[in-house]
Chain A
Amino acid sequence: MSILVEFLADLTYGILTGGVYALIAVGLSLSFGMMGIVNFAHGSIVMLGMYATYYSFTHLGLHPYLSMALVIPLFFLFGMVLEVGLFRFMYNVPHNNQFLLTCGLMIVLNNLALSAFSANMRTVQVSFLEEGFSLGGIVISYGRFLAFVVGVIFYLLLTLFLRKTIIGKAIRASAQNREGAKLCGINVSTIYTYAFGVGIMFAGVAGLLILPFSGAYPDVGDTFILTAFIIVVLGGMGNISAAFWASLIIGVAEALGATFMSSGVKYLFPFIIFIGVLLFRPTGLFVRKTGNG
């Protein structure tokens, strides 16, 4: 009986974590799937999102969730600037060089953070977010629950955006066939700028959601980036909804691994799943004919 409760608790906990992973992975999937760029700096953007939230909390007194009003436009702009200033030059560069460029960006961002914010762990204490409620014997903290809810809302908004708005449709079209989209009169390079901005914005929001229950430090992004890549590949390149479901799977796999093996080896499971999937289903777990959206 207790094993069942434990199992259910892990399941819930894993799904809640997965909701936050989804935000990181969906953003990565946009750039990875559309532009084919392996952006190793994506985790560093999450880290910057955490610091932005932290400083708006300590200096402006903004509740972490309210600082969204600041983080969203800031990171959207930041993403667009990054695309115009750096990523635009990468599309026709070989993979090896892309890897080096984004790694260079990651090193710059991580060390800028180290230089500006020091290596100390920064945490915020918001009493409400630390309390929890009980659901059939499983205690869930409001912080994690809200993070999950907000993550899902953002994911749903993005799907709506991609399906219903004209820009969203243009993004999907450019991802499916760059030349074809150009022929239809879509300004592909502007669309890439928007898409990249959205991806970076999602990473920023993910940082904001993670901060209340996990401290910020300059290298914190490294822990997310590999998981995020695993999720993106697991779902299939550029497939946003698949990335969402894959996030939940990885979240649950980690949580179950922590209980039934030991907390140290829980990180093994995503990698093993990842290798297995890449070898046996290289197109991802959820393949659909239309692919994107």
Chain B
Amino acid sequence: MKNLINKILLGLIGITLICLLPFWVGDYYLFLLVLTCLNAYMATSWNIIGGMGGQLALGHAAFFGLSGYTSTFLFQKYGLSPWAGMWIGMVVSALYGALIGLLCFRYKVRGTYFALVTLAFVEILRIIFVNLKTFGGSEGIVIGLKGHSWRAFQFESKVPYYFIILLMLAALVLTIHHFRNTRFISYLRAIREDEEVAQALGIDVFKIKFWGLILSACLTSLGGAFYAQYVLYIDPPSMFGLTRSFDMVFICIMGGMGTILGPVLGSVVFSAFMEVTNAIFKGGYGANHLILYGILLMVVILVFPRGLITLFPTNFHRRKDAVRN
């Protein structure tokens, strides 16, 4: 009983701190905080198909970008509120995800091949969007300021953005935590461990992987719409670029694939590391801290192959969550 009260107290203090954080730090750090939450959100979304399902999808920028472009286009052209546009963007992303899933999983494209096909699917989108004048071509779209209001998803301060993305992240993490023992997620894990065995046990592998991908795509797409409204500028490289796809994968693997809090931890470490090294190593075309980042990636994966979350006591990442080697 005492233990429980302690836990609740600790939780309340944590929540209060997180909620007070934006009023305490400056504008610059608030900007970083929002990006950290967004990265954590996207890595968690990727984690569903990538970490829990074990499918190395390298093309999640497709869903991110499609939804960002959809909501922005509808907002600019027809004045549709991004709050509505992001759901339409989600449908578009889900359809694209369905196309990828249908083709790849129906024809049993796996492992490395699946990774390369998903990469190809996002490159196709990037090339198309660079060449489509309707969507601004390679110059991209600058989202016009339409007054600071909830309807336009534009705010004068960054604080509302922080709470929106924090809420999205918390809702996602808690939902996954709540459903962690459901049949769907257990099936995904079974497929990750051994697809043939899962099939032999009577799991409809195609169906589970397909819906896993779509779910992951839908969640990622909400992040894309949020990002577009947050930076108010989108162009093909920032929406469909390789780094966009890779970053969420890096963060998730670094933190701990298949675990619930791993992606969040990965995102915090990623942001903190980038910020600190960037401050120390100025100059050199901003490349010096990226060299260190590359080294960090390699060292983390060689020393902690199951992610940084394994540093923490096991009740944070129950053993069966993490990917086995």
A107 touches B120 (CB 8 A): no
Listed residue (A38, A86, A94, A279) with the most chain B CB atoms within 10 angstroms of its CB: A94
User: Can you list 7 residue pairs at the A/B interface with Cβ under 8 Å?
Assistant: A94-B323, A97-B305, A109-B294, A268-B124, A274-B116, A275-B117, A282-B108
**Does residue B199 face the partner (Cβ distance < 8 Å to A)?**
no
Q: Which of B100-157 contact A (CB under 8 A)?
A: 103-104, 107-109, 111-113, 115-117, 119-121, 123-124, 127-128, 130-131
Q: Which residue from chain B places its CB closest to the CB of A263 in the assembled complex? A: B131
Cβ–Cβ contact B120 & A115, under 8 A: no
7 smallest CB-CB distances across A and B, nearest first, come from A107-B294, A104-B297, A108-B294, A104-B298, A114-B287, A111-B287, A115-B287
Chain B residue at minimum C-beta to C-beta distance from A36: B112
A95-B111, A104-B301, A265-B127 known; A111+B291 contact, CB < 8 A: yes
* Residue ID in chain A nearest B242 by CB atoms: A222
What separation, in Å, do the CA atoms of A230 and B123 have in the docked complex? 12
Bound together, the chains give a CA A111 to CA B115 distance in angstroms of 24
- The answer to the question of B272 belonging to the interface, with a C-beta cut-off of 8 Å to chain A, is no
Given contacts A94-B323, A97-B253, A275-B117, 19 further A-B contacts (CB under 8 A): A93-B305, A95-B115, A96-B323, A100-B249, A104-B298, A106-B294, A107-B290, A111-B290, A112-B287, A115-B291, A118-B285, A119-B285, A226-B120, A229-B116, A265-B127, A267-B127, A278-B117, A279-B107, A282-B107
The residue that A105 contacts in the complex, of B104, B116, B290, B294, with Cβ under 8 A, is B294
- Taking CB atoms, residues of chain B closer than 8 Å to A111 are 287-288, 290-291, 294
CB distance from A81 to the nearest CB of B (A): 15
Interchain CB contact (< 8 A) of B113 among A93, A99, A278: A278
CA distance A93 to B298 in the complex (A): 12
Number of interface residues, chain A, beta carbon within 8 A: 45
A137 at the interface (CB under 8 A from B): no
Q: Using Cβ atoms and an 8 Å threshold, which residues of chain B touch A229? A: 116, 119
**Given known A264-B127, A275-B103, contact A38–B246 (CB-CB < 8 A):** no
Asked if B297 and A107 sit within 8 Å, CB to CB, the answer is yes
Q: Are B302 and A89 in contact (CB under 8 A)?
A: yes
The chain B residues found within 8 Å of chain A, CB to CB, are 50, 56, 58, 103-104, 107-109, 111-113, 115-117, 119-121, 123-124, 127-128, 130-131, 242, 246, 249-250, 253-254, 257, 284-285, 287-288, 290-291, 293-298, 301-302, 305, 323, 325
Give residues of chain A (178-208) contacting chain B, Cβ–Cβ below 8 Å.
Answer: none
Chain A contacts to B: CB under 8 angstroms: 36, 38, 86, 89, 93-97, 99-101, 103-112, 114-115, 118-119, 218, 222, 226, 229-230, 233, 262, 264-265, 267-268, 271-272, 274-275, 278-280, 282
Give the complex CA separation of A107 and B116 in angstroms: 19
Q: Which residues of B contact A282 (CB under 8 A)?
A: 107-109, 113
Residues of B near A268 (CB, < 8 A) are 124, 127-128
